[in-house]
Amino acid sequence: MKNFNKHKVFALPLIKQRGLMVIMLFLALCVLTGCAGKSAIPEGAEVEMERTTFSFTQQEHPYDLFPTYLIAPGDELDVLFQIQTWMKSDDFKIAIDQTLQIKFMYAPELNDTQKVRFDGNITLPYVGDVYVAGKSTIDLTKELTEKYRNVLQIPEISITITDFRESIKELKADLYTAARGLSRLVTVRPDGHVTFPLAGDLLVAGLSIPEVNKILNDKYASILPGLHCDLSLEKHSGSQIHIVGQVRLPGAYNIQRPVTIMEALALAEDTLPGAKLDSIFIVRKHDKKMVATRVNLESTLTFDKDSKFFYVMPNDIVFVPKTWLSGASEVARQLSDILFFKGYSLGFSWELHNEPNSSLSR
C-alpha cells in the first residue's frame, strides 16, 4: 500500500479520542449483518468476556501488563552515575595500576611508593617481588609483616593507596563538565551491544534493565570502588505493533500494554469499506517461525458466552484483508506485497492457526 508510512508512530491515548466511535461502528455493522441478533443482552445484564492470545504466550504473562521488558536494538538507555568520595568496605581489594605507599615505622629508610604493575606485583627491598593485586590492605600488611620478621627487629608496617581518592575526583570532574552531567545516554546498536563509559562493550539485547544494571555495577566496582550507576530506559523501540491492510491509517503504533484487536484498530482510525472483519490475521514471531492466527472480530462482537477478546502484544502484525485468505502462504504473500517489516524475515517458515472455538467459512 502506497499510503503506508512505516515511520509514522501514534501513541495509545488515541484510543480515548476515537476508540468509542470505532467500536460503535463495529456494533452497527454487526446489527446490519445480523450477527448481533444471535445473542441479545438484556438491559442491565453483565456478560463476562474471556481473553485469549496465541497459545504459546497465553499462560505466560498477564494481559494488562507487559512481561519484563527486554532491551532491544534501537533502545536508548540512560546511565546515571553515583560517585562516593569516601567509601567504607571490609573487602576492598588492591587493583593493578593503583599506587601503594608502604611505610616502615622503625625503618623509614625502607619507605617506598610503588605502582602495582600489570603482573600484579610490586618489588620491595630484601623480599623482592610481592604479588598484591586482589588483596586487601589488611591482608597485605600481615603478609609483609611476616616477610620482614627475619629482616627487621620490629616490622611495624602501614600501607596506603594514595591515588584512590584522586581517581574518583578526576572521574567526577570529567562527568560534571560533560553536557549531561552525571548522566550518559547510550544507544543499543543493531548487533545488540552498547558501549558504556569505562566498562566498554556489553551485549545487552534480550536482557532486562535490572540484569544489565547488576552487570554494570559489578564491572564498575572492579574498575573503581565507589563508582555506582542506575540504569533506566530513556526511549524504547520494541513496544510497537504494526497495523496494515484495510485500515485508514496503517502504520507502527506505540503501546504501553497489550491491547485488544478493537483497540488496535481504533489506533488505525477504523477499517476501510470491504474489510473482512471475520478474517483478521495476527502474525507473531515465535522461535524461528512466523505464526499467524485468524480472528473473527464479528463473532467477538456478539458478546455471547463463546466470545473472546484477542490480545495483541509488542511486535505483532495486525493484518486486515479485503478478501478471504485460506492459507499461510496467501497471508505471507499479501504481507510481502504491502511492506517488509523491520526485524522480520518473510523467508521464515510460517504456520496458520485458526482461532479456537470459532466457526469460519467463506
Q: Is the pLDDT of residue 165 over 60?
A: no
Q: Is the pLDDT of residue 179 over 70?
A: no
- Output the CA torsion sign for 323, 328, 333, 338: positive
pLDDT at 103: 94
Mean pLDDT of 335-351: 48
Residue 93, in any domain of the structure: no
Query: How much is the mean pLDDT over the chain?
Result: 75
pLDDT at 217: 92
The string of pLDDT tens digits covering residues 135-148 is: 988 999 999 999 99
Q: How confident is the model at residue 359 (pLDDT cuts 50, 70, 90)?
A: very low
> 84-88, 130-134, 215-219, 357-361: which has the minimum mean pLDDT?
357-361
Q: How confident is the model at residue 4 (pLDDT cuts 50, 70, 90)?
A: very low
Q: Which residue has the higher pLDDT, 56 or 125?
A: 125
Residue 256, in any domain of the structure: yes
- Give the burial class of 37: count Cβ atoms within 10 A of its Cβ; 0-12 exposed, 13-18 middle, 19 or more buried: exposed
Q: Tally the domains of the chain.
A: 3
Mean pLDDT of 178-199: 82
Name the β-bridge partners of 185: 78
Q: Is the pLDDT of residue 270 over 60?
A: yes
> Is there a single domain that holds both residue 80 and residue 190?
yes
The string of pLDDT tens digits covering residues 6-45 is: 444 444 444 444 554 555 555 554 444 444 444 556 777 7
> Is there a single domain that holds both residue 152 and residue 284?
no
pLDDT at 149: 92
d(CA 231, CA 110): 47
Domain residue limits at 218: 76-88+165-235
> Is there a single domain that holds both residue 125 and residue 35?
no
Residue 61, in any domain of the structure: yes
Q: Is the pLDDT of residue 290 over 70?
A: yes
CATH of the domain at 177: 3.30.1950.10
> Is there a single domain that holds both residue 327 and residue 243?
yes
Question: Cα(first)–Cα(last) distance of the chain, in Å?
Answer: 25
> Is there a single domain that holds both residue 228 and residue 346?
no
Mean pLDDT of 69-82: 87
Residue at which a domain ends, from 235, 261, 285:
235
Contact 322, 246 (CB under 8 A): yes
pLDDT at 331: 59
